[in-house]
Amino acid sequence: MIAEIGRFLIALALLACVAQTILAWIGANKGGKGGKGAMADAGRAASEIAVLAGGAAMLLLILSFVRSDFSIAYVAANSHVDKPLAYKIAGAWGGHEGSMLLWCWILALFGMGLAKIGPLNSALRSRSVSFQGLLQSLFFAFLAFASNPFERVSPAPIQGSDLNPILQDPALVIHPPMLYIGYVGLSTAFAIAAAGLVQKSNGRELAGALRPWALGAWTSLTAGIALGAWWAYYELGWGGWWFWDPVENASFMPWLLGAALIHSAIATEKRGAFPGWTVFLALLAYILSILGAFLVRSGVITSVHAFALDPERGVWILGMLGVSAVAGFTLFAFRATSLGEGDGFEPDSREAFIGANNLFLAAAAGVVLVGTLMPLFVDALGLPTLSVGAPYYNMSATPLMMAAVILMPLAPFLPWTNGGAKPALKQLGAAFILLPVAVVTGAFISFGAPVLAVVGAALGAWALAGAVMDAVRTLPSLAVRSAQIAAAGRTIAHAGVGLIALGAAADASRPVDQNVALAEGESVTVGGYELTLEGVRGIEGPNYIGDRARLLINGGEGGVIEPERRFYVAADQTTREVALRAGLAGELYVSVGEARVRENGVTAFEVRGAYHPLVWMLSLGAIFIVLGGLTALYARIASGAPRREGKAQAIAEAAE
């Protein structure tokens, strides 16, 4: 019965999204007071029905996992009777169909959010709700007709197939929702931009309307990517946190464009600069989010992140990508001139530096896009297989991002429009800021770091020192005005970028990893630590069996570290559970693998050991960026500017 109710709720949500699209559009056109009246209210009510229906379907799917209802094909394929409760719940979005239901529900939540607290121009709000309803309709139709999570299976299996073991991790409970909020949240910027193009809104108005939505989505996307990187670091046992995997790239491209969009929107809203570029970025960022969905779910790539699916579903998503791209870019082509040309500015102004930074970020996204798609095109043409790996991205995308980091600390000190680099550099304290850069650069050179790592470390120190100087300038008046709170958000986020650059540079300079086979009593030296295998014992978990190795650090004086190797019986899959020992200077990273019997009959175990210096800076940097984004979003909400604009709009409408 649950499956039938779930399918009905998905159909109801689809109908509500279609009604939202039609009613909100009619409401936006109704009479002289567009966006107000019965039809606009009906469109908002339809958005609420879509949220309720989608949310109820999601709850029923979770309930089916908790009850181990294996008569539902999706539950049978992604759960097991012995799986811990937390992973049963997370299994609801651990596979394709359930994750798409979560995607659709979040999409509907943003639609309701637009209806309730969207653009203060009521006509623009209703039209944005209509465009959002169209995006919702596309995805709910895909869910209903091609990817329904409530399909039955007969006969029902007794125990289930189990969720992919590498996905049975605490980070995976919250990683997909955070990532989806980021992906899907960019749809609101798309909807507002498209609505503004239809009714020929001013560029400044559109930038102010979409900026908080873009900022919230980008902040959540940052958190989702960071969680994914952390999961890959300690769960996959590869010893790294970023691999330029196609699916990682699929999330990184919207992140780069989202960062560019936020900065461009600031320049457009404050000074009228780049109105067309801001709207174009709003359209493109969401389109690349859909492209990411296609890459993950079409079966065209092989990845630890990807859902292996039949190509027919990929065609559906490709169709949605095409509809969104054609609609958005066609509107832009015909209506971009209505946004205004933007005000002029000097080459040493803040606008100029924001514009240059945007170009570097967008170019980096383009380079990543080419590297991600090129192997697919080559394969489609029947040419020899092409592999695009880290060397390509390090030589192409990394220099562009480094250039953006160079400009980042300078822009906040430059005046708008008329420029004035000399006073800004004096205020920045350029001579002082170069001191930590020189110290960090010298330290990395003395440790024999690669050239790229030395440059990255210098840029990290540059960004971090610039953020500190920016904070010194703004901190005394933080409690006075929301503008200072927004500035604090900026400095926190910029400091986070500096920390990530330093952490990445340090990790790229780490000692060579050790992969050895150790018998009991044998040792290996990793990053100055001597690891001695004391023994290996069997373990048993709720849905796995395995081995736990016990290694002494420096003969036991540094304590012990206990990595595990697990075998999940239902999934017939083995995983490595990495053991970590963190310190201020870095982190010891140890995993254990297969047992090998030597010629003399002694059993040895494969041990991978690595030392990651300053790797904690990566996590701290991501936290700083998220906190900076949230701070800036709070400042935007608390500023009162949108409310003042809304009051002026209400007066204008009342005068009509």
Indicate if 97 and 33 belong to the same structural domain.
yes
Give percent above pLDDT 90 in the chain: 56
Which residue in this structure is represented by tokens 């991205």? 393
Reading phi first (left if > 0) and then psi (alpha if -120 to 50, else beta), residue 279 is in alpha
Entry field: residues in the chain: 656
Residue 196 CA to its chain's centroid (Å): 26
Q: Is residue 186 part of a domain?
A: no
Largest CA distance in the chain: 95
Indicate if 439 and 528 belong to the same structural domain.
no
Indicate if 442 and 541 belong to the same structural domain.
no
Q: How confident is the model at residue 133 (pLDDT cuts 50, 70, 90)?
A: very high
Per-residue pLDDT of 401-423, as tens digits, reads 999 999 998 888 888 877 666 66
Instruction: Give mean pLDDT, residues 135-149.
Output: 94
The whole-number pLDDT of residue 55 equals 97
Q: Is residue 582 part of a domain?
A: yes
Residue 9 in tokens: 């709720």
Mean pLDDT comparison of 83-92, 162-171, 227-236, 249-258, highest-scoring range? 249-258
Q: Is residue 371 part of a domain?
A: yes
Identify the residue with better confidence: 89 or 626.
626
The whole-number pLDDT of residue 240 equals 77
Last residue of a domain, one of 413, 428, 443: 428
Last residue of a domain, one of 402, 428, 454: 428
DSSP H/E element including 534: strand 529-540
Q: What does the alpha-carbon distance between residue 198 and residue 196 come to, in Å, rounded to a whole number?
A: 5
Question: Shortest CA distance to 234 belongs to which of 550, 626, 563, 621?
Answer: 563
Say if residues 537 and 544 touch (Cβ distance below 8 Å).
no
Indicate if 400 and 359 belong to the same structural domain.
yes
Q: Is residue 450 part of a domain?
A: yes
Per-residue pLDDT of 263-275, as tens digits, reads 999 999 988 899 9
Name 391's Cβ contacts closer than 8 Å, sequence gap at least 6: none
Write down the H helix ranges in 34-121.
38-66, 73-78, 85-90, 96-117
C-alpha dihedral over 274, 275, 276, 282, to 10 degrees? 100
- Looking at every residue in the chain, the average pLDDT score rounds to 87
Say if residues 167 and 266 touch (Cβ distance below 8 Å).
no
Question: Shortest CA distance to 380 belongs to which of 313, 320, 326, 311?
Answer: 311
Query: Which amino acid belongs to residue 204?
Result: R
69: β partners:
none
Last residue of a domain, one of 382, 403, 428: 428
Instruction: Give mean pLDDT, residues 248-272.
Output: 93
Mean pLDDT comparison of 271-285, 433-447, 635-649, highest-scoring range? 271-285
The whole-number pLDDT of residue 29 equals 86
Question: Shortest CA distance to 237 belongs to which of 589, 542, 605?
Answer: 589
Residue 358 in tokens: 């945007």
Instruction: Give mean pLDDT, residues 82-104.
Output: 88
Out of 135-144, 362-371, 589-598, least confident range: 589-598
Q: How confident is the model at residue 653 (pLDDT cuts 50, 70, 90)?
A: very low
The whole-number pLDDT of residue 208 equals 93
The whole-number pLDDT of residue 44 equals 94
Calculate Rg over the CA atoms of the chain: 26
Residue 408 in tokens: 């980042």
Per-residue pLDDT of 173-220, as tens digits, reads 788 889 999 999 999 999 999 999 999 999 999 999 999 999 999 999
Instruction: State which residues form the domain around 407.
Output: 204-321+333-428
The whole-number pLDDT of residue 651 equals 34
Question: Shortest CA distance to 334 belongs to which of 155, 235, 194, 204?
Answer: 194
The whole-number pLDDT of residue 424 equals 66
Q: Residue 576 pLDDT more than 90?
A: no
Say if residues 534 and 442 touch (Cβ distance below 8 Å).
no
Out of 24-33, 208-217, 266-275, 544-553, least confident range: 24-33
Identify the residue with better confidence: 40 or 640.
40
Q: Is residue 603 part of a domain?
A: yes
Mean pLDDT comparison of 4-13, 305-314, 316-325, 403-412, highest-scoring range? 4-13
Q: How confident is the model at residue 480 (pLDDT cuts 50, 70, 90)?
A: low
Identify the residue with better confidence: 477 or 60.
60
597: β partners:
603
Q: Is residue 183 part of a domain?
A: no
Q: What does the alpha-carbon distance between residue 272 and residue 275 come to, in Å, rounded to a whole number?
A: 7
DSSP H/E element including 537: strand 529-540
Indicate if 249 and 387 belong to the same structural domain.
yes
Say if residues 351 and 416 touch (Cβ distance below 8 Å).
yes
Per-residue pLDDT of 495-537, as tens digits, reads 999 999 999 999 888 888 899 999 999 999 998 899 999 999 9
The whole-number pLDDT of residue 418 equals 76
Indicate if 82 and 146 belong to the same structural domain.
yes
CB count within 10 Å of CB 299 equals 16
Q: Residue 378 pLDDT more than 70?
A: yes
Q: How confident is the model at residue 559 (pLDDT cuts 50, 70, 90)?
A: very high
Indicate if 489 and 550 belong to the same structural domain.
no
Residue 205 in tokens: 């108005």
Give me the DSSP letters along 167-235: G-STHHHHHHHHHHHHHHHHHHHHHHHHHHHHTT--HHHHHHHHHHHHHHHHHHHHHHHHHHHHHHHHH
Q: What is the 3-state secondary structure (H, E, C) of 562-586?
A: CCEEEEECCCCEEEEECEEEECCCE
Strands 529-540, 603-613: pairing is unpaired
Indicate if 495 and 597 belong to the same structural domain.
no
Indicate if 258 and 346 belong to the same structural domain.
yes
Q: Is residue 41 part of a domain?
A: yes
Return the axis-axis angle of helices 390-407 and 451-474, rounded to nearest 10°.
30
Indicate if 223 and 355 belong to the same structural domain.
yes
Return the axis-axis angle of helices 275-297 and 96-117, rounded to nearest 10°.
160
Out of 238-252, 319-333, 433-447, 561-575, least confident range: 433-447
Residue 347 CA to its chain's centroid (Å): 33
Q: Residue 302 pLDDT more than 60?
A: no
Out of 344-348, 430-434, 622-626, least confident range: 430-434
Q: Residue 644 pLDDT more than 70?
A: no
Give me the number of domains the chain comprises.
Answer: 4
Query: Which amino acid belongs to residue 317?
Result: I
Q: What does the alpha-carbon distance between residue 30 and residue 526 come to, in Å, rounded to a whole number?
A: 71
Indicate if 273 and 415 belong to the same structural domain.
yes
Say if residues 70 and 156 touch (Cβ distance below 8 Å).
yes
Indicate if 21 and 147 belong to the same structural domain.
yes
Q: Is residue 255 part of a domain?
A: yes
